[in-house]
Amino acid sequence: MERTQAGLEELVAAELWVPAPEAARVLADEIRARHGHAVAAVLFYGSCLRKQTDEGVLDFYVLVDDYASAYSSRWLARANALLPPNVFYLEAETPGGTARCKYAVVSLRDFARGAGPKAIRPAIWARFCQPALAVWTRDEAARRAVLDATVRAVCTATLRALEVLPDEAGLQRFSSEELWLALFEETYGGELRPESADTIRSLHHAAPERYARVLRAALAVLADADELRLHGDGEKLSATRPADRLRRGRRARRVRRPAAKLVGVAQLLKSAVTFGDWLPYALWKLERHTGTRLEPSERQRRHPFVFAWPLLFHVLRRRELR
């Protein structure tokens, strides 16, 4: 078990500790300045990492010790604890121009839970089974927590994918591509704003060899943990899960999916209030997609829900606030 676990950890660590691009480092520093000593790690993931570009909105998860120490506002701390994460928008100036990001604040404890098989929503494990980069970690304990949770996310994703794939008398045969595409179709299909089939395929096609290596390592870990049995190791992989576990997993999936959507709606409603400086973000999206530039007044920036409705109408009409 230790040997196979170490193999998966080595693959994940090789991705996490790659030096971050300049825009990501600058934004991480600004995030740390906002939330102070509570920040244990800043993780970069998503399309800008995958495409190796800072022309867009970078995506981060910010892991904190606890919510009370991450905010000066009690209500933000309580909202984060009740329904994590809180999501914010941030801009920072870099030598290359203005860098933009969205970042989600979640505690180390909630991040570890979200990476595990009991999580209701796939938000964390579905993101962090994909490549991610630790832009900043506070100390060795934080590095260990990030690595453990990311390895757990890969294993959770593998088990969830097996619950989607068909079987013949318990035997499942699949390629790496088939497994990952089935997983991404399942997880993105359960989102409030599903992604296109082309976008889903692009996740795997961006790094097929990486996904194949990580899958084989994860299957080995799960086999050592008696979650499944492996049969052969050719181009087509074969695995058998205990029938009772496979049935329980599929039953749980039917419950999790509608529950996850309900939580997603609640999260969306909360984000409408907690997102922070959302008006510049929405207007930037409008300009990027349509070429239309709208400049908010200082009063509209400070009180968007009161004074910014004319601008917001343009954004909503174009469906750019996402």
DSSP letters, 263-310, are: HHHHHHHHHHHHS-SHHHHHHHHHHHHH-------HHHHH-HHHH-HH
Return the beta strands (E) in the chain as ranges.
39-45, 57-64, 86-94, 97-107, 133-137, 171-174, 229-233, 237-240
Q: Which range has the worst mean pLDDT, 79-93, 113-127, 232-246?
A: 232-246
pLDDT score of 322 more than 50: no
pLDDT digits (tens, 9 = 90+) for 253-270: 888 777 777 777 677 666
pLDDT, greater one: 249 or 305: 249
Fold of 2-274: Beta Polymerase; domain 2 (3.30.460)
pLDDT band at 56 (very low <50, low <70, confident <90, very high): confident
Lowest mean pLDDT among 139-153, 154-168, 175-189, 290-304: 290-304
**Least confident span in 87-91, 126-130, 265-269, 295-299:** 295-299
Whether pLDDT at 199 is above 60? yes
Q: What is the pLDDT of residue 17?
A: 97
Residue with the larger pLDDT of the pair 190 and 210: 210
When the pLDDT of each residue in the chain is averaged and rounded to a whole number, the result is 85
Residue spans of the domains in the chain: they are 2-274, 278-318
Residue 280 neighbours by CB under 8 Å, 6+ apart: 89, 91, 296, 301
pTM score:
0.83
pLDDT at 25 over 90: yes
Q: What is the pLDDT of residue 189?
A: 73
Evaluate whether 142 touches 41 at the Cβ level (below 8 Å).
yes
Pick the residue with more confidence: 25 or 248? 25
